[in-house]
Structure 1
């Protein structure tokens, strides 16, 4: 019973993290296409852009990328600090992680609303929105680490692809967790695709609203997974 419950809980958490990965893909689509070539979730890309920009490559916004790097780091630190004290209980995802997720969702919608109100963004407002988006995604990535599903960080799929290849039958492995790992790559791409389409036809703030909706759906799925996880933990305790 315990083994099957653990497997079921992991599937439920995995589904929620896949939706959050799609949301990150959408946010990165917004930040790259509508906020001047900067990522707010994929920090590897920003490190490369800073390197390119420092050599004098045209149209690489070094300041924007540095801001995203620093605020993402700050967000991850805050997310870890806020959830660490509540971690280690019978349920793998602490309640404080859901609080962080709620703040992230509200923040996404608030930034989209500000963007809609301002209209065309000036450089300063663009950098502020970029920094806040990176802060939110950093906090989210730290908060969901407690699910202990390392293949689904929600903000990057590079190591997911390495694990997929290393554990594949082609590499002599057993093909473990291939569906979840492929799903992470696909959902991030779909999120970016959806954001790009919305940006093309409606504009950046509407794509950010879409990302907020995805983030909200992922958070609701996390709530459902946590409740079921808590139910199994209680049943195991009283058995």
Structure 2
């Protein structure tokens, strides 16, 4: 499944980030389909929507998209600041990143619970939930950067597709990391698909629970990968 030459920890990191990418697809499905046509992870879409809305295109909520854009930036800044310290030599993911990811997971599930309590959301509630979700995904993207796997940002797949095409045999490349790159594209789509299905037959709050569960699974996998990294680092220092 994984590329040759990867360590067990690297394969585990890849699997975890693919699950986290699926979770982002699920969250974006919720925000677009149930929170008034806005993305909380894909900021490229929000920039375009803001441009469309400012030109008067109907049914484009400029305020919601602007809130998502700004809170994502804030989340990314906070995530970066919180994960600057706590690194362990030889371990890709600092302990601080794990705490940030735990916070984003719990925050997502808390928002889902709040949504259940509120029931039908008004405009204000939609904007608040949109903003908090974007902040959480911004923090998530910053936290996972420390793995060094650039094709798995967990929030966008545009550059992943560019790298996939550029390194393909069709382009004269060696076809490197094709599984990881295709996996990122597929898992984000599957997350969105699952989210859309849950929204269609249940509600957006249930789809947000699905996203939170996926985040929790990814967190567990990242914990295992980090422990493997730590054992490898300890073995190396002992040698």
Which interval holds the TM-score relative to the shorter structure?
over 0.9
Confirm or deny that 1:9 pairs with 2:6.
no
Deviation at 1:108, TM superposition (A): 0.6
Inter-partner Cα distance in structure 1 for 2:233 and 2:101? 23
Deviation at 1:160, TM superposition (A): 0.2
Query: Contact 2:85–2:94 at 8 Å: present in 1 too?
Result: no
The 5 Å alignment of 1:33-182 reads: 33-87=33-87, 89-182=89-182
Inter-partner Cα distance in structure 1 for 2:193 and 2:147? 27
- Match in the other structure for 1:221: 221
Inter-partner Cα distance in structure 1 for 2:187 and 2:224? 20
Deviation at 1:15, TM superposition (A): 0.6
Structure 2 counterpart SS, 1:84: coil
Deviation at 1:12, TM superposition (A): 1.1
Deviation at 1:5, TM superposition (A): 8.4
Aligned residues: 236
- Match in the other structure for 1:232: 232
Structure 1 counterpart SS, 2:83: helix
Structure 1 counterpart SS, 2:51: helix
Inter-partner Cα distance in structure 1 for 2:163 and 2:6? 21
TM-score by length of 2: 0.97
Inter-partner Cα distance in structure 1 for 2:102 and 2:152? 19
Structure 2, unaligned stretches of length 5 or more?
none
TM-score by length of 1: 0.97
1:70-109 CA-to-partner distances (Å, cap 9, x unmatched) read 0000000000000012236321100000000110111011
Query: Contact 1:87–1:146 at 8 Å: present in 2 too?
Result: no
Query: Contact 1:5–1:232 at 8 Å: present in 2 too?
Result: no
Inter-partner Cα distance in structure 2 for 1:236 and 1:89? 11
Deviation at 1:11, TM superposition (A): 1.2
Query: Contact 2:157–2:184 at 8 Å: present in 1 too?
Result: yes
